């Protein structure tokens, strides 16, 4: 018998005996009471010893049988706990009033949790709908302001446009964050040209490249990937946004590596080693984020969540004062939950 199994049986036996400790003690007390009465009446105590031994043997056999049933019930319930689809209807039939009371309590708690969960989901759904609507509504005045400031001819015009561009980026991030839970129903998976998706991201940030004087080193590549264009473009834009934000001079290089891997590399301030390990945590901004003051710690978190759902991978390599390299592996063609089912 294996050691872990033996320890498990011993733990069950210990638990079984503890639950019946009072019965065992009372049995021993009764044996001593009978022995004491026999002794006081001058009857040989051995007369009481023989039936006591017989009762112990019978009790031992009965206890062994009950312990076997106790182990089977424990194993059955432990097996049920490993199945996520278990419901209260699958629970073993109660064998005592106490077990029935516990199952009734479970029914009451389950119903209370169901009602609370339903209420919470409803509130979350309303909040998500409101924020989604609010984001779309906010884009209308931003577009209007952009058109209005085109009539101005002063040095502040470009500065205002830059702030509006940042605001629009934050709104897009908020919108995608709210859509993340329902992303699976919004996927359109087919074969795309990776270069065309990358060029859309570059075009979006073209004015930022020019205003900051950052040179772009784009190596043409002919790579097709099976993905969702909209969601992958969002990730690429997030990576480019970070690269531009933390690169004051130098260049940003974009090229393809083997095994359908997209690489975006900058010559920015870099990320410390301890921060790299936490880059994809929600809300983590790191040292660079604390310097920037406007970092939310959501962009990379969202990117990782999206790529996980698309069954793509992302890795970050960086050195302080040298730069950062981001690798997006696009070899898989199906979202993880779908590819696992095939």
Written as six digits, the tokens of 253 are 């290089």
Asked if the model's pLDDT at residue 204 lies above 90, the reply is yes
Phi, psi of 322 (to 5 degrees): -115, -45
The correct CATH number of 189-339 out of 3.40.50.2000, 2.40.160.10, 3.30.360.10, 3.30.565.10 is 3.30.565.10
Asked if the model's pLDDT at residue 341 lies above 90, the reply is no
Confidence of residue 5 (pLDDT cuts 50, 70, 90): low
pLDDT of residue 290: 66
Average pLDDT over residues 174-191: 88
Strands (E) in the chain, as ranges, are 189-193, 215-218, 224-228, 251-257, 261-266, 313-319, 323-329
Residues 267, 250: contact at Cβ < 8 Å?
yes
State the DSSP H helix or E strand holding residue 290, giving kind and residue range, or none if neither.
helix 286-292
The C-alpha atoms of residue 261 and residue 223 are separated, in whole angstroms, by 9
pLDDT of residue 227: 94
The C-alpha atoms of residue 195 and residue 255 are separated, in whole angstroms, by 9
Domain regions of the chain by residue span: 3-86, 189-339
Strand pairing category for 251-257 and 261-266 = antiparallel
């Amino acid at each position: 018998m294996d050691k872990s199994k033996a320890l498990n049986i011993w733990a069950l036996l210990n638990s079984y005996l503890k639950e019946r400790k009072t019965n065992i003690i009372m049995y021993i007390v009764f044996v001593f009471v009978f022995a004491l009465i026999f002794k006081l009446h001058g009857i040989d105590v051995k007369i009481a010893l023989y039936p006591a031994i017989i009762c112990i043997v019978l009790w031992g056999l009965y206890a062994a049988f009950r312990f076997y049933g106790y182990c089977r019930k424990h194993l059955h319930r432990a097996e049920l706990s490993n199945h996520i689809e278990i419901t209260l209807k699958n629970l073993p039939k109660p064998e005592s009033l106490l077990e029935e009371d516990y199952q009734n309590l479970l029914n009451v708690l389950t119903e209370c949790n169901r009602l609370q969960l339903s209420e919470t989901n409803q509130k979350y759904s309303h909040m998500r709908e409101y924020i989604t609507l609010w984001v779309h509504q906010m884009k209308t005045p931003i577009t209007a302001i952009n058109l209005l400031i085109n009539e101005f001819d002063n040095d502040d015009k470009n500065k205002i446009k830059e702030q509006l561009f940042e605001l629009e980026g934050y709104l897009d991030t908020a919108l995608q964050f709210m859509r993340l839970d329902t992303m699976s129903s919004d996927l359109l998976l087919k074969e795309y040209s990776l270069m065309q998706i990358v060029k859309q991201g570059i075009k979006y940030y073209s004015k930022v490249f020019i205003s900051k004087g950052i040179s772009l080193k784009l190596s043409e590549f002919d790579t097709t990937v099976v993905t969702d264009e909209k969601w992958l473009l969002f990730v690429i834009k997030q990576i480019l946004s970070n690269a531009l934000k933390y690169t004051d001079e130098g260049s940003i290089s974009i090229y393809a590596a083997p095994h359908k891997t997209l690489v975006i590399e900058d010559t920015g301030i870099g990320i410390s080693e301890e921060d790299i390990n936490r880059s994809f945590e929600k809300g983590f901004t790191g040292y660079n984020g604390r310097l920037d003051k406007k970092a939310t710690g959501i962009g990379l978190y969202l990117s990782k969540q999206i790529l996980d759902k698309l069954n793509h991978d992302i890795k970050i390599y960086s050195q302080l004062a040298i730069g950062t390299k981001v690798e997006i592996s696009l070899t898989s063609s199906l979202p993880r939950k779908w590819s696992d089912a095939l």
